[in-house]
Structure 1
Amino acid sequence: MSQQLRILHLEDDPLDAELVESTLIGEGFDCDLRVVATREAFVAALDAGGIDVILADFALPKFDGMAALEIVRHTCPAIPFIFVSGRLGEETAIDSLRNGATDYVLKNRLSRLGPAVRRALDEAVEREERRRAEAALHESERCRLQLQVELRYAAEIQRKLLPRNYPQIPGFEVAARCLPAQQVGGDFFDWQEVCPGVWGFTLGDVMGKGLAAAMLMATARAALRSVAHNRPEKALRLAEQALVTDLENSESFVTLFFGQIHAAARRLTFVDCGHGLAFLRRASGLVEELTPRTFPLGIPVDLNFQEGAAIFATGDTLVLYSDGLIDARPELALDNQALARCLAGAGRAQEMVDRLLALPALEDNLPDDLTVLVVHCTG
């Protein structure tokens, strides 16, 4: 044995105790054998701890092995318990095993003691390994359930960060929806009246999905909201300055489209930060691409955010979406032209959003977050 074996031996005959010890030494065990003969001494030794194996005679003058086994079963059941007795009938032996004993050895057949101890130690190691595996599995399941609860809370908070009501803009209808691929995600949309008669609109997509992307989404949304009263070019420049450290530390980036609609003039000004998933569908069905485009937030390039502009006519529709819409069904070869055709005949913004979201037909199994925002000019 590479490690000293600590044995508690319940035995009232010193000669038998010496014989057991010499037998084990002869089997190659390095033994630290503590012999006790009373209940008090036995319990005190258990309380002291550090025991690898318990050997016990079956009958002692004031204490017996079955009572000792009962104590061990309730206080330290992982310790192997072997009866070493001069008389142990078959029925009694079976009862002892049924009550938790690991094995039994007759004193006139001590040649079995070494193998019995080795087997008991091996079984104890296996039990401990199973216990640890089960404990690890239990802890993993506990963490999984806790994470699910936390994700549900996070998802609820994220839903509350999205606008609850559509804005009332004279001459326009607005509708939007966000479907995270997981319980929480990195897509977001937002709107706010940044000054009288001017509404800001945002659709953003943080690289990745899940909780990390959701945390960055909330940060990006807050940063942009705080500067949205500026012209789009300045607003994005200020937002990037606020976000650059977080994006660098997380090695992430954000694509987004930020536009402002001047309702009275029916004029759209915007900055497209590497998003590219936006178009203006004219009432005739023609698609007008929205340019220019610049790099996403978090990409270290020294370029200005260039503004674009467009004028709405009655029946025109601004469509913003995330790449989850086309990634969900790549075989459909969805592009701006195909998406615009899908909107033919739809007269309400909500109907347009519903049509676009119905294209992937994968709401319950999305490969990526999916968000759509529509601004429809009604006249």
Structure 2
Amino acid sequence: MPPPGNAIGGAAAADRLPMASRTTSTHRARTFDRSARLLERWIDRLRLEDQSDLLPVARAIGREILRLGPLLPDPEAAARLDTELYEPATELVRRLGLEGALALLRDDLLARLAPVAIELGFGPESLASLAAHLGDACWRAYTTGLGSRLHQEEMEALRKELTMAKRIQERLLPRTVPQIEHFEIAGRVLPAREVGGDYWSCKWYPEDDIATFKLADVTGHGVAAALLVAAVKFISGGYYRGAKSAAQVMERTNHVLVKETPHEILVTMVYGWLYPTSRAVTLVNAGHSPLWHVRAGRVTAIEATGPALGLMETRYGERRIEFVRGDLIFACSDGITQARGADSMGEERVRDLVLAHADRSATEIRDAVLHAALDFYGSPVDDMSLVVVRCVD
């Protein structure tokens, strides 16, 4: 128990009491002693399974009631009581549940305090107010705990859903890269979250002597972007059959996205048809940057041949390139070049890195760029993706 001089907040607190509740210091000390003994008896008579652990909690509640109870008409004191009671009430609710804690505080403690309510300086109305404060403290403790548990359950459910979404999205990416005569192809996606809005793929159609490859970057990242990634994969992949050109695949894909997706969601995409026998490629660039053709130490930017997908109905152009040995096509997402605005790697640094490794394999070029990006950013700030197509002979 605190010393008697601190029981009801000291002389300054006593000055705020109504005249009827002002007593001599001797009478106040006597009142405190009686009330303290009463509370001690209440605490000692608690019939709880784990009484020893609850004694400090009960004593803390008792001390705050003795200290602040007579000042309840003062709003400041009432607010202080709410604050002071919250922690011990939380412990009582944790151990006894809401109903048990309310019964203990309302039916037991208040019933025993009622006989000395006048000596403590407050009447039946204030006693009812004290009961309300105690009940509110327990209710707030209960609802906070319930909210915390619900939040934890929701977060765990979300974590499981995201884990499943990540596994599904990983299955959308190439498990193996097809072996294409005269060429090496390598790509990678590193999402900034569990799932992301970047995508790459490569598929070989030997009956047509065509290998398709694509790199797509959906605006935003997270679950919404991941859902659109799946749509882009299946829409663009499905339109290959029966299409006369890479541009036609893109136009059909764009038509669906314009009709079925929100206008604020756009997809930049690089899509290519690679012809191994003739060592050539036709490229469609739907608003993506950077997309480079590297030859003999020089880098040529391949400009957009149409706008981002989903923006508007339009036609797409193509760019055809005849490869020579050592040529490569490189494209990456802005999660590598512009992830932090002005404080980013930038296209120039990435271009220099690609040039420095241009005589290496497609896999080595990919890894060099990714390692440099991770060294620069520490971890993906935005989804990172890239694709490298290299002519080896």
TM-score (norm 2): 0.68
Give the whole-Å Cα distance in 1 for the aligned partners of 2:167 and 2:277.
Answer: 36
Q: Residue 214 of structure 1: CA displacement?
A: 0.3
Q: Residue 371 of structure 1: CA displacement?
A: 0.5
Residues 184 and 66 of structure 1: CA distance in aligned 2, closer, same or farther (over 3 Å): closer
Structure 2 residue runs of 5 or longer lacking an equivalent are: 1-44, 48-95
Matching residue's letter, 2:311: I
Q: Residue 359 of structure 1: CA displacement?
A: 1.7
* SS at structure 1 position matched to 2:195: coil
Give the whole-Å Cα distance in 1 for the aligned partners of 2:294 and 2:370.
Answer: 17
Which position in structure 2 is the counterpart of 1:77? 100
The structure in which a higher percent of residues are helix is: 2
Residues 285 and 102 of structure 1: CA distance in aligned 2, closer, same or farther (over 3 Å): farther
Which position in structure 1 is the counterpart of 2:113? 104
Query: Aligned match of 2:289 in 268, 276, 285?
Result: 276
Give the whole-Å Cα distance in 2 for the aligned partners of 1:280 and 1:75.
Answer: 69
Q: Residue 119 of structure 1: CA displacement?
A: 0.2
Which position in structure 2 is the counterpart of 1:265? 278
CA contact (8 A) 1:83 1:105 kept: no
Q: Residue 315 of structure 1: CA displacement?
A: 0.8
* SS at structure 1 position matched to 2:114: strand
Deviations 1:21-48 (A, max 9, x none): xxxxxxxxxxxxxxxxxxxxxxxxxxxx
Give the whole-Å Cα distance in 1 for the aligned partners of 2:389 and 2:284.
Answer: 16
CA contact (8 A) 1:315 1:376 kept: yes
Query: Aligned match of 2:367 in 351, 354, 367?
Result: 354
* SS at structure 2 position matched to 1:334: helix
Matching residue's letter, 2:319: G
Give the whole-Å Cα distance in 2 for the aligned partners of 1:143 and 1:75.
Answer: 22
Residues 242 and 182 of structure 1: CA distance in aligned 2, closer, same or farther (over 3 Å): same
* SS at structure 2 position matched to 1:196: coil
Which position in structure 1 is the counterpart of 2:8? none
Which position in structure 2 is the counterpart of 1:375? 389
Please tell me whether residue 241 in structure 1 is matched to residue 255 in structure 2. yes
Q: Residue 74 of structure 1: CA displacement?
A: 8.4
CA contact (8 A) 2:291 2:303 kept: no
Which position in structure 2 is the counterpart of 1:218? 230
Please tell me whether residue 119 in structure 1 is matched to residue 130 in structure 2. yes
Please tell me whether residue 314 in structure 1 is matched to residue 325 in structure 2. yes
Matching residue's letter, 2:293: L
Q: How does 1:64-213 map to 2 (within 5 A)?
A: 76-79=99-102, 97=109, 103-106=112-115, 112-194=123-205, 195-213=207-225
Give the whole-Å Cα distance in 2 for the aligned partners of 1:75 and 1:303.
Answer: 64
Identity of aligned pairs, percent? 25
* SS at structure 2 position matched to 1:188: strand
Residues 157 and 83 of structure 1: CA distance in aligned 2, closer, same or farther (over 3 Å): closer
Q: Residue 107 of structure 1: CA displacement?
A: 7.9
Structure 1 residue runs of 5 or longer lacking an equivalent are: 1-64, 68-72, 85-95
Give the whole-Å Cα distance in 2 for the aligned partners of 1:262 and 1:132.
Answer: 65
Give the whole-Å Cα distance in 1 for the aligned partners of 2:268 and 2:202.
Answer: 17
CA RMSD of aligned residues (A): 2.9
Deviations 1:154-201 (A, max 9, x none): 111111110111111110111111100111000000111245310111
Aligned length: 294
Q: Residue 247 of structure 1: CA displacement?
A: 1.9
Give the whole-Å Cα distance in 2 for the aligned partners of 1:180 and 1:265.
Answer: 35
CA contact (8 A) 2:193 2:222 kept: yes
Give the whole-Å Cα distance in 2 for the aligned partners of 1:239 and 1:344.
Answer: 33
CA contact (8 A) 2:292 2:299 kept: yes
Deviations 1:104-162 (A, max 9, x none): 22289596433222101111012212221221122112211211111111111111110
Query: Aligned match of 2:305 in 269, 273, 293?
Result: 293
Which position in structure 1 is the counterpart of 2:356? 342
Matching residue's letter, 1:343: H
The structure in which a higher percent of residues are strand is: 1
Give the whole-Å Cα distance in 1 for the aligned partners of 2:366 and 2:130.
Answer: 69
* SS at structure 2 position matched to 1:260: strand
TM-score (norm 1): 0.70
